[in-house]
């Protein structure tokens, strides 16, 4: 069970590192334009905001990695940062009207959160 928990926390951390790189460095490049469905003009206008958004995704990734490294506090740290990722995905899907954001960002975090809660409830 612990392997699955760490796997999903690591997966969500990896996703947020990827989001950070896309938003901070590729926002106005062909890859970023394609992923986010932007025109070059819109991307250039919003580039500073995207870099800021990318930084926050980096913080989420750092917190999730911290939960894996600090195994004695794994559950509480992971629950907090997974919850943040879930809320971010829900809000992003709602505000952009792109349900895919929920599936890509929130769903893996929700699976990880559920595994941790189930393990704590069921085995203690």
SS (H, E, C) the chain: CHHHHHHHHHHHHHHHHHHHHHHHHCCCCHHHHHHHCCCHHHHHHHHHHHHHHHHHHHHHHHHHHHHHHCHHHHHHHHHHHHHHHHHHHHHHHHHHCCHHHHHHHHHHHHHHHHHHHHHHHHCC
> In this predicted model, what pLDDT tens digit does every residue of 18-34 receive, in sequence order?
999 999 999 999 999 99
How much is the pTM? 0.91
Q: Domain spans of the chain? A: 2-122
> In this predicted model, what pLDDT tens digit does every residue of 85-97 receive, in sequence order?
999 999 999 999 9
């Amino acid at each position: 069970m612990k392997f699955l928990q760490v796997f999903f926390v690591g997966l969500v951390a990896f996703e947020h590192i990827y989001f950070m790189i896309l938003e901070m460095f590729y926002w106005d490049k062909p890859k970023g334009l394609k992923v986010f469905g932007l025109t070059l003009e819109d991307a250039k206008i919003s580039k500073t905001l995207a870099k800021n958004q990318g930084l926050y995704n980096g913080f989420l990734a750092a917190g999730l990695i911290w939960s894996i490294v600090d195994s004695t506090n794994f559950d509480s740290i992971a629950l907090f940062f997974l919850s943040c990722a879930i809320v971010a995905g829900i809000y992003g899907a709602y505000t952009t009207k792109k349900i895919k954001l929920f599936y890509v960002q929130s769903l893996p975090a929700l699976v990880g959160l559920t595994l941790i809660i189930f393990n704590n409830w069921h085995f203690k």
